[in-house]
Structure 1
Amino acid sequence: MKLPLVFTTFKPILSKIKNSGISALILLWFILLIFVWWKGETFELFGYQPFHSLTSRWLTTTVLIIIAISFIGWKMIHRLKTLEARQQEDKKKQHNPIQEEIDAQRRYLDHWVNRFKRYVDHPKYEYNLPWYIMLGTTDSGKHTLLKEGGNFSELYTSENLEHHINFTVLNNENAVIICPENQLLEQIDNIENKPRLYVKLWANLLLWVREQRNRQPLNGVIITIDIHQLLIANKQQREEYIALLHNRLQDILEISQAELPVYIVMTKLDTLYGFEAVYSALTKEQREEILGVTFTKKGENWKSELSTFWQDWLKQMNNLMPDLLFQTAENKRSQIFSYIRQIATTSDILEPFFENLISNGGKSFHFLKGVYLTSATQVGKMDDVFVQSASEKYHLGVQTYPIWSVKNVQTYFCYNLFKNELFAFPNLAKESRLWRKHYQHKMKVFSIFGGIAALSLLGIWHYFYHSNYQAGINVLEQVKTFKDIKISDEIDQYGDKQLPLLNPIREATLSYGNYHDVSYLLKDMGLYQGNNIGPYVENTYLRLLQLRFIPSIMNGLLKKLNEAPEESEEKLEILRVMRMLDDKTGRDNAFVSDFMKKYWSDVFKGQKQLQSNLMSHLDYALLHTNWYAGRLAGDEQLIEAYQPYDLSVKEAQKELSHLSIYNRVYQNLKIKANSVLSAPLNYKDEIGSGFESVFIANNDELLRIPRFFTESGLLNYFIKQDSRLIDLTVMDSWVLNLKENLEYSDTDRAKISERISEQYVNDYISTWRSAINNLDIREFETLTESINALEKITGGEQTFKRALVVLSDNTRTPALPNKEGKELQDAISSLDYRLMIQIDHSFSDEKSVLKDADDKGSMLQNIYQKLSSLHRYLLSIENAPNQGKAALKAVQLRIDQHSTDPILELQQLAKTMPQPISRWLDQLAEYTWHSVLKSAIVSLEVEWNDKVVKQYKSYLQDRYPFVKNATQEVPLSEFSRFFAPNGILDSFYQTNLKPFIESDLNQISDNNTPLIREDILFQLELATKIRETFFSSGNGIGVQFAIEPLSMSSNKRRGILNLDGQIIDYSHGVKKQTNIVWPNSMNASVESKLTLVSTDKDSSPRSLSFSGPWAQIKLLRAGKVSNAKNGSFDVRYDLNGGYATYRIYIDESDNPFSWDIFSQFKLPDTLY
């Protein structure tokens, strides 16, 4: 089919575009990236704006960059793999002796393909003609057959004389034939140092065919067989010949993965004696006819069809024999008999030959499509196969036959063979199973995705249909809800009481979305109904906004207007909002929205949803209402609704018209700057990443400096507005209903400029001073935080310097031009220079630290030296083997005043520095010292747990005497080791805790909270009391006291008190005071016992006894204490109906029998 002219003209360009997919992808990537940032903010898809926010656009850009990097990485990996494969091939070539022949063969094929492309001139050149492969051994007549029968030509002839190409590729207008030479068929390994050469060349050739035509590698196989050689061959030769051809057919099957039609051409029919006598009389047309049989379908019945053909052929020759004998000379009549006899015999040989050739043990194989007989040329010797066979059988002499004359050469049965038979069934060959499998897989995938796409499209259509349907239902429901609402007569000053009316009608209006912003032809796949229904509902909504919502807001604003101070900026601001709500011509939507947002936020604190609801109605009103225009158009309802505010607005306009023109202009200038200039400068961000580690702001808002008060704001906005300051009064002129054509003289303009500049400079200085005074050093919790802060200050972040540089950049005097005379004077007298020099002088002290900052003797370098010294000092503590010990040692050195540490030096330096660096250095030194103290305590806590608490829990906790009824007792050795002077607890206190407790360092901490917990201090006091009670200096553990028996019941005649072997025997006689020592024995089985002997001789003595090192204490605590006095107390034992009372004399302050000192002693795990 001929293409239209336009397609023919652009065909080369389209071909290039088609072949440049990567370029198209790259172009698409750039288009997407540009689209995201150019149109992304307003782009809408199905009512959703995916790129509206800056975050979403950056996220999309990140995804695109990741895709690009992934694609480039994939291409690089692919390229590297290709290069690696080439390198591997080069290595193989060095070790593969036949690689050169394979490469030469490939080059030949590549050249042929290029020629073939130009010859065919078709995009699908490889499938434009059918491809066949012709198999035939040497002298099988295939080349002669191709030459005489098909008008074939060779597109490319190899010019490589070094490497012989073992096949030819021929073509004509009907087909392409690959004709391998005998070496590739027989594959005889007879070349030295090149093993399996022809096997690999043959495989490479077939692989190339499949690469070129993966769908249908070949359309058929043509086999040429010399009929004379076949007839004279013995059984073994025929079997070898069959095996050879069968193997090549098997190779073709394995590569093509498709069963192909096989056409067998029996050549050299002229070598059978009698051929000339039978066919010499044929006309040209008869010689061009086809002699053979083409089997039906796929040759399922080839045997019967071949037999039928052979019988019919013989029958025809027998029927013609009389005529032939009659017309032929007598000497040729025997030739006719001989020829027919040979043909009749041939069928018995061909049928088993063909059957063995195409049989494959029941597996799929190529099928036989036709058998043909030809004589392309007549050369060589004739032979009578039948006669020769008989002569050989009966040992007769060899019969000689004539040789063909060159003059009598004709072509028999070849002319139409290729065109009408061999090339007549190109599509009979099956498609490659590999291709078909891959194609089926692709079709499945396509079907699945196509089905998913179709279902998705149907689902989307249904979704939009359903959403529009639901939107219509929602409109009806909201309208019904609106009609059912009872209108309130309550006075509304904020608009919130109108929400019950407004919400349903707004919901109905926006049920289909904002129909103003969409193209209804494309919206919702053409199903959008908002353009039909929206306007009707919107009219009602707009009337409600104008008649109820805006008047309710005006009520509240009117009240604030009347309450505002006279001629104040507050009153002017309220009037601006009221005028903008009324008249759209001078309305600034952003200004009104910001004011009302703050206004409602103050009224409805914590009610975010209510505020948002009010703002949504306000935004719609600002976009779509014009109260003033409606009144001008004569709308009676709007005129009536505005009357309550008309007088107050006019009075306010008259009153505020007397305001200072300077204030009005300056306020307008600031308002315009906020909408024109970029977001405020964030001092925190400007200082950099070190801010969070070093500084803390008391008020974050003070760090957000309006761009109006920055160097760029001054030079690029304020200065440029100087000539337009009068023009900025237009807004207030409109608000105050003043004449817009007021004219000011040059003197007026200069005076206004001077006063405004003065006010601007004062605000500029105040803003920056507030910001710099708002910065304090944050308190450090750990030593690491202190070190990190110092590294941020002295390292790459240069936090202190950066804070001052930002200040300097926005308060420095502009550089004067390197000129003289009038130009220099003009620069000095310019407004920007005059303003910046005032600002510069105001911050000269603060910026003096930066003077000659890079010189070694400068203030900043001196500060850095002290901070570096402090940094090394803190690192030495942190990196010490025992950080707590190192911190403690630093604390002790400072207490003992043996040296001045870098912290004290920094505090001294801070006193000599200007603000704010002085305050920062002093705070830095203070908070660093706090971190050293905390580090000492934190590290000591580990040692406290390991050395003290661990021993306490292992040997003292939950044991007697600390738990009264405990079954286990504290070993005296462990008791002594823990509580003795210079014992575990006392040593830890003296070494580690004493500096903090006895030097008032315990109160140097955040918010005056103690570093060491109060309960720890109390436990240490108890431990001191235990040590003083149970231990004497130099003598170890030991308690001395005296005991005296006081009385004994009358039914007891004797009381024996045994205290660790110290006996007090009492028998109602003389009372004797006895000095007692505890412990009297360190033996674990020592016993303390009280025995009372009854007066009744029949009653045995009764005893109260305890054993163990604490037995004496237990026994003395077991009685009832009474008559406690200063230095003594009585203890009574009731035993077996009697009693005994003893008095114990001991120092009251060191009473070992007091239970309180043990029961209250409990050591916690933490120190702070």
Structure 2
Amino acid sequence: MLNTLFSILSSRLLWGFLGITALSFIIWVIGPLLAINGSSPLEPEVNRQISIGLLYLVWGFGQVIPRLHNAWVNRQLVSSLGKQEAAETGAPLLNDEEQVLAQRFSEASQLLKKAHFSGTSGRKKPFWMRRFSRQYLYQLPWYVIIGAPGAGKTTALVNSGLHFPLADRFGKTALRGIGGTRNCDWWFTNEAVLLDTAGRYTMQESQREQDASEWGKFVALLKKYRARQPVNGAIITISVSDLLTLSAEQRRQQASALRQRLLELHEQLGIRFPVYVLVTKTDLLKGFTAYFDGFDKAKRDQVWGFTFPWAKLKSGNFDVQTAFEHEYSLLQQRLDAGLADVMLMERDGKARAESYLFPQEFSALRPLLSDYLTQIFAHSGFETSLSARGVYFASGTQEGQPFDKVMGELNRALNLPSHDGGTKATEWGAGPQHQQGGAVPPVKGQSFFLRDVLENVVFPESGLAGSNRWWELRNRAVLWSGYLLLSLALVVAAILWFISYSHNRDYLQEVSAKVPAVNQQGQALQAGNLSDLFALLPYLNGLLHLPESQQFDINHPPLTRRMGLYRGGEVSDATNALYQKALKQLLLPQVAQQITSWLRSDDGSDADFSYEALKAYQMLYQPKHYDGKFIHAWVMLNLQRTLPQNITREQLRQLEWHLSQLLETQIQSSPYAKDDALIAREQALIARMPLSDRVYGRLKRLLEHDDSLKPVSLAALGGPQSELVFTRKSGKPLSEGISGLYTPEGYWNSFDKQIDSVTAALYADDVWVLGKSTSDSDKAQTDNLVRQRYMDDYIRQWDGLLQDLALNNIANLSQRINSARLLSSANSPLRQLVTGLSHYLVLEKPAAPQEPGKKADSGNSATNTLRSLFGAREGPALQIRRPRSRKSPSTLLRCWNWRSRYRKVAKPSSLMISSSKWMTFTAI
């Protein structure tokens, strides 16, 4: 619990979040108090919220982006380890041996691209902290293990007790610790990556060129993907077996090979790193197993060896041999001091004898190991000095017969016989049974003095290794380049800020110069007559254009006027507030007076005008039914009717703009008291006209100006030769005909489809304009009356046209003959006229009617005319259903036509069309 609490309190993520939160609190509380040149940019809450949000966003990116970069580098590294590469451009592909080095990750590459490692300390942290403290593969410390073939490198790793998180999932094919490794094995722990190189890479004896090439590629791979710090250290393994069995010359050659590999790492990687000496197979010393047989696991995992001071090693004047002799003697003294306790605890005589011999065996190893290390870490003025961080003794597994160097030398001194040339252990003991039984058998499967060396000494010192000098120089160059760019950006920003400050200062002076003239116009309005709407234009225009500049567009200011110093927005807001105040205090009262004046002067002669005038007046007192576009269009329509001659089109356009800003942007109310008597008088005037007449009048005004309804003329019905035989009694031209409203297309495609919507809109408006509602029966009756009014006008229009038609007055006989010949020809204008009239007089429904709503939408523009606005208004729709028993208007008209007025025209023409026969004049 305490460890978890300490991990939380020491988390950089937690303290970073708290720091950002504290800074956000300062911005929120103290930000409004900060002013720059009289302006407080953090005073609005929205600006503070945006600033705090950006602060958290930047901090979050700072936490996420490095992790994304690490993931990308990790994927690049793993991908490179799993693919085949050519040695250099234009070179052939790698051979089989070289491919093995680059393909060790083939089966685990996909997992390693996303794998995280947390370390032993990370497992004690809370889950959310472990998520943020995990590291990718390339971020872990990397250590290279170098040693001669059979030196026990792999055996030491297999039995070290370290946790290898990928071993269980991908098997233990790389853990072949008995025979030595042939290629490079990669061992992944939560704390570090261990690169177990093949022993032949170190000695390079059998195939020197191939081994050297593979070793060079291995070093190049490290340098490519860990350029800053390719390795964090090197571990060289020295086998006790080699020290005791090899000749002096062989030991010298082996030490020289190790030194050469370390120097190559130094030179090619370009860094200084610590070298840890691990003396393996110490169990082959006589008495090792007997001496340490009583150790439990914790004691077996501890460190047995010594560490040299790093500060002295870096100075270059450190004498490794002298320090080694001193530290080694201390270890020997420690063995001698503990010998008495071991002898007392051991009951077996044979084991006691071997335990007593072990300190002497360990002492006999010192000169051999000292010469070996002196050969590796010798100082030279021509080569890089190697840093021996420490010497540690370990045993991975207890296999094979121990060597008895002390007894071997004693046998040789006394000329006594020895087994295997005096190199193997001499069998001696307290009695014959021990001579037959041999040495104390080792206990297999136990490791001695390995785990803590790696976990508590090597891995925690991953920061001792230096960085690549060239990488540091390049990184420093990039860093200083960034600083230079930032400085340059700061200079450019400072210049732009200065320019922006100067321009904004000039802009404010320009605006200030306009203020006296605007104030003077306002004072003149207060002293003069405010009944004229156009008299307000100079003052309103002055306020509207006050923030504008002749130098730039205030809506799109250039960069040299922005940079956080632009004041056009504040000036525009201030002048807009003043402009809106002027609209409400000056223009709105005049608009209300004009609407009231028009309503008072109404004499009721035009019910539609009276209705719309009352409607506009009511809107100023009923916010629920307010329609700014309607009032705007109504005011402009009436102003244009009585427009003074000295008013220009530009002034009219300016007033229209001010009215739109006043009426259409928000709901307005009249500043004057409501005149109920005036409303009652106007409602009484409107009530004189039946509702059906108002509905029909509105439909008629809408559709008569519909450009999609084409008019019908006698010239079009009779053909191009009509003027040769026909004339109009009124003297009007034959090309002037009937409105397209009074045609089958006009009825079916426009009138019939809009009658319900217009009627419903008037019903809804009557509720609040006239203060009355209509029942369903009244609505049905109104519908019939509207259609009957249309039929009456339809017949009246066509009656007037036909009654106005006559033959041309012919003076002489020859013209009469020509006229008769033309009238009786196949393309007779009379025949075409009668045939065309049959279509319009019967009022048949068109075969392909237009889509609903197209006629109603044509010409609807609230800014052009008031009648178009009425067609576009949306009001509460009232459903009007016609009784099923009622005959349709077309049926009524058709029956009426056939029975009375148009029988003489419609019947012969229909017979002529159906039978394709000639028709005599007497039949007409």
TM-score scaled to structure 2, two decimals?
0.48
Higher relative contact order (CA 8 A, sep 6+): 2
TM-score scaled to structure 1, two decimals?
0.40
